[in-house]
């Protein structure tokens, strides 16, 4: 089984299609990272399948020189489930956005996570509808001015990672479009995970929502506005690593503390703790840093694996069609 795979490079994963995102779009960075990462994952190229819905991010499969299917709005998780059920050998990736994945396709997202379907779901979150020209999305911050909310949106936003956790997601992570190294690490871990790997990628839309993640992306601002989670490590941030997250055991809430003198109060990240994961996923400015990294992970039964186990057991004896047609009560007319 240990067939040596030919050494592939970024070129092998780059399709001949001209990339058609706006100049400066965060999607370019994600695409580059993925094209570079794929050879490193060491899986046969012909087994890589990218399934997308509709939206700017969903053009992604056209640019990957793998199998790809640009489907319909919101339905990529359902199409991907069918692909994976038909051929569990395939590595199936879902490319979606905040509107595609959590507005029109929210139901399918909920159910692939609940069933723990073996997929890698990359959700490009730019907190806006790009392809339809700038309307607010289900992740847009309250008060977002857009063509459909000229006086500011009054829709309360959702947190993709918190919803993924609520749906029973077994791998929930967050990364940033331009942080190639971090994104590669997170995606690599998601790829190795058995079950649904949900990865929210904070992505800048330079046209309709420019700079929305500036605080977590900017080299100077980021240290104070984001925290990188690592399993078993204390949750520390700040330009001089002077701040940390603490769990207040009386209020069951997180707090930001200055470390000096409180070293023993620093919360240690446990990616297997769902309750903690939920609190970390919901952290946001201005009072809290935004958490990136693997927020939660657990091993649990995989829908695809269980389906095929059941099939294998049932098919120990293959069906005989003639026997089926003649099963039950029959009678002979002479």
Partner 1 sequence: MELAEEKLNEHHLDENKVVAVVVRFAGDSGDGMQLTGANFTQATALYGNDLSTFPDFPAEIRAPIGATFGVSAFQIYFGAEEVTTAGDALDVLVAMNPAALITNVANLVDGGLVIVDTGAFTAKNLTKAKYATNPLEDGSLDRFRLLEIDISSQVLKAVEPYNLGHKAGLRCKNMWTLGLVMWLFDRDRNPTIQNLRSKFAKAPDLAEANVAALNAGHAYGETAELPSGIHVYKIPKAKVAPGTYRNVTGTTALAWGLIAGAELAGVELLFASYPITPASNLLHELSNRKEFRVNTFQAEDEIAAVCAAIGASFAGALGITSSAGPGIALKAEGIALAAATELPLVIVNTQRGGPSTGLPTKTEQSDLNMAMFGRHGDTPMPVIASSTSTDCFEVAIEAVRLATKYMTPVMLLSDGYLANAAEPWKIPDVANLIPFPVKHYDEVVGFKPSLRDVKTLARVWAKPGTPGLEHRIGGIERSYDSGDISYDPENHQRMTNLRKDKIKGIAADIPLQEVCLGNQSGKLAVVGWGSTFGAIHQAVKRARHEGLDVSHIQVRYLAPFPRNLGELLRGFDAVLVPEMNTGQFVRLIRADFLIDAESLSKVAGQPFKIGEILAAIHAKYASLNPQTKVASNAKREQVK
Query: Which residues contact partner 1 (rule: CB under 8 A)?
Result: 15, 17, 44-49, 51, 54, 61-62, 64-72, 75, 77-87, 89-90, 107-108, 110-111, 307, 310-311, 314-315, 317-319, 321-322, 324-326, 328-334
For every residue of 105-155, DSSP letters joined together read: THHHHHHHHHHT-SEEEEEEE-SS-TTTTS---TTSPTT--BTTBTT---P
Q: What SS3 state is found at 157?
A: coil
Of 28 and 69, the one with the shorter C-beta distance to partner 1 is: 69
Contacts of 188 (CB under 8 A, 6+ apart): 37, 40, 41
Of 76 and 229, the one with the shorter C-beta distance to partner 1 is: 76
Name the minimum Å distance from CB 116 to partner 1: 14
Residue 259: other Cβ atoms inside 10 A: 17
Name the minimum Å distance from CB 47 to partner 1: 6
Name the minimum Å distance from CB 48 to partner 1: 8
- Listing from the earlier edge strand, what are the strands of the sheet with 236-237? 236-237, 243-248, 253-258
In the numeric block, the tokens 């971090």 are attached to: 182
Of 53 and 134, the one with the shorter C-beta distance to partner 1 is: 53
Name the minimum Å distance from CB 78 to partner 1: 4
Of 24 and 44, the one with the shorter C-beta distance to partner 1 is: 44
Geometric angle at alpha carbon 245, from 141 and 192, rounded to 5°: 75
Of 44 and 152, the one with the shorter C-beta distance to partner 1 is: 44
Name the minimum Å distance from CB 324 to partner 1: 6
Task: Name residue 247's beta-bridge partners.
Answer: 254
């Amino acid at each position: 089984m240990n067939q040596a795979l030919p050494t592939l490079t970024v070129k092998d994963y780059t399709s001949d299609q001209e990339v058609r995102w706006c100049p400066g779009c965060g999607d370019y960075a994600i695409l580059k990272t993925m094209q570079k990462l794929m050879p490193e994952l060491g899986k046969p190229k012909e087994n890589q399948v990218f399934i997308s819905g509709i939206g700017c991010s969903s053009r992604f499969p056209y640019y990957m020189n793998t199998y790809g299917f640009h489907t319909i709005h919101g339905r990529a998780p359902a199409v991907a489930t069918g692909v994976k059920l038909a051929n569990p050998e395939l590595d199936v990736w879902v490319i979606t956005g905040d509107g595609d994945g959590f507005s029109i396709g929210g139901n399918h997202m909920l159910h692939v996570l609940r069933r723990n379907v073996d997929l890698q779901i990359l959700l490009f979150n730019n907190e806006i509808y790009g392809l339809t020209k700038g309307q607010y999305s289900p992740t847009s911050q309250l008060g977002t001015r857009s063509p459909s909310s000229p006086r500011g949106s009054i829709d309360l936003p959702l947190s993709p990672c918190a919803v993924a956790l609520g749906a029973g997601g077994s791998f929930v992570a967050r990364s940033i479009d331009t942080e190639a190294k971090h994104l590669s690490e997170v995606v690599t871990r998601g790829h190795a995970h058995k079950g649904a790997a949900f990865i929210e990628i904070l992505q800048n839309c330079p046209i309709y929502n420019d700079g929305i993640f500036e605080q977590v992306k900017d080299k100077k601002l980021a240290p104070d506005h984001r925290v990188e989670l690592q399993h078993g490590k204390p949750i520390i941030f700040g330009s001089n690593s002077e701040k940390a997250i603490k769990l207040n055991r009386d209020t069951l809430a997180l707090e930001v503390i200055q470390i000096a003198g409180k070293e023993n109060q620093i919360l240690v990240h446990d990616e297997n703790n769902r309750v903690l994961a939920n609190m970390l996923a919901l952290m946001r400015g201005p009072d809290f840093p935004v958490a990136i990294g693997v927020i939660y992970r657990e091993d649990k039964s995989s829908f695809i694996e269980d389906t095929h186990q059941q099939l294998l057991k049932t098919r120990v004896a293959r069906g005989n069609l003639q026997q089926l047609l003649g099963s039950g009560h029959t009678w002979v007319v002479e």
